[in-house]
Amino acid sequence: MSLSVGVLAFPLTSPVWGGNPWLVYRMVDALATQFPNDTFHLVFYEAPGNDVSKANVGRLLSRHSNVRSVVAAKGREAIDWCRSHTDVAWGTVSGIMRTDALPQVFTLQDMRMFTKYRESYVGYLKHRAGLSFALRQAKVVSVISRSTRDEVLRFYPRKGYERKIDLVYIGVPAGFDDPQGVVAKRPPQVTSDRFITTIYDPLPQKRMELLGSITPLLDKHGWDLVCIGPLRGGSRDRVVHHPRVHYPGYAGLDDLPAYIKASSLFLFPSEYEGFGLPPYEAMSLGVPVLYNRRCAAFVECIGDATHSFGTDPELSVVLDSLMASPEMLGSHVVGCLGLVKRFDWARAARQYMYLFSLARDRAGSEVDFSPGGDRPSIEAVAGGAGP
């Protein structure tokens, strides 16, 4: 029996490509590939209005005949459309649809607004209200790491929530669309042979201020630093001004893997992630990675598989050693290529489709993923245990 899934796709309209938009894009792409006989409706509250979102939504529509797009105003219009055209709705942003007439699957990416990194108290209150509603309304809740599951149950210690939450690791692009076809390319501003790449994001948990502490090492070793990502302007951006630090801006799906593959090291200083795709993407391209060990999700999934630092001062110490020793720098590359193969979009798509079917089939009853409950075997559906 074919399934019609309504994808609440408004994250795809964001001009900043990462996090939610990236997850939705990759998951829809994997779902449509794995399940050509099922239909996936991208439900927008307003038409994509910027070049980034238009290009990526257009790519999905052109690649898959079973992916459709519709604009329905947020609220009753969107609810009525989904009830008439879909079997289940899927959303990745807290709040989801305010109706219990349609089975809904909610993906919770992280609990950042509940940590010291929340940007405002008003934002925290809005997020908490939306998340409370989503947890209550959804038939099934998926989380993308064990650390996120632990966090949500610490803030919402309700048996009803524990029963409906299950872990589905998202996939990792194996070198993005074509790992063998990615040709290394230096950003136009870079003239040195050795450079570090990072993803620039001014959100406080990303710890961009740490980049300023490594500029002496750039001079010492003759390396450059490339901060990929759009500057958003205003006081949010903590820009490091140094002749060896470059900001090429937004890099599309053609340039991003090429820039990373050309680099000698990928640095990700973020202290909090729900999962955190960029380090895995760099690993898939055979690039050494240095990450922040204070990020629980990375410790959970990466551990000692690659280079890491545990304190702010340790960053410069570890980085200095890596820049001075090509042998040490590349010591984890082969192991990391094996690690990223454990995170598979095709398997994640099979798991999500199982959750969609489960939500539809049990519309009138509870789903119980708690230990000792009627926990369905996701591993059997996915073709083997996940990471």
- Tens of pLDDT, residues 290-313: 999 999 999 999 999 999 999 999
Tell me: pLDDT of 45 over 70.
Answer: yes
Q: Is 112 helix (H, G, I), strand (E, B) or coil?
A: helix
Instruction: Give the tokens for residue 293.
Output: 């060990």
pLDDT tens digits, 265-280: 999 999 999 999 999 9
DSSP secondary structure code for residue 82 in this structure: H
In this prediction the pTM is 0.88
Instruction: State the sign of the Cα–Cα–Cα–Cα dihedral 115, 279, 238, 207.
Output: positive
Gap between the Cα atoms of 209 and 237, Å rounded: 10
Gap between the Cα atoms of 142 and 167, Å rounded: 6
* 6, 119, 135, 254, 374 from 363: Cα distances, Å: 16, 37, 16, 42, 16
If phi > 0 it is left, if psi is from -120 to 50 it is alpha, else beta; for residue 319 that is alpha
Q: Selecting from 3.90.1560.10, 3.40.50.2000, 3.40.50.2300, 3.30.1370.10, what CATH number does the domain 179-340 have?
A: 3.40.50.2000
CATH class of 4-171+344-382: alpha beta
Are 227 and 246 within 8 A, CB to CB? yes
Q: Classify strands 307-309 and 289-292 as parallel, antiparallel or unpaired.
A: parallel
**According to the model, what pLDDT value does residue 173 have?**
77
Residue 258's CB is within 10 A of a number of other CB atoms, namely 18
pLDDT tens digits, 50-95: 888 898 899 999 999 999 999 999 999 999 999 999 999 999 988 8
Q: Would 4-171+344-382 and 179-340 be classified into the same CATH topology?
A: yes
DSSP secondary structure code for residue 294 in this structure: T
Q: Hey, where are the domains in the chain?
A: 4-171+344-382, 179-340
**Token pair 């702010």 in the structure block, residue:** 312
pLDDT band at residue 382 under the 50/70/90 scheme = low
Mean pLDDT across the chain, nearest whole number? 89
**Token pair 């193969």 in the structure block, residue:** 341
Are 152 and 161 within 8 A, CB to CB? yes
Which run of H or E residues covers position 21? helix 20-34
Q: Classify strands 265-268 and 289-292 as parallel, antiparallel or unpaired.
A: parallel
Are 33 and 67 within 8 A, CB to CB? no
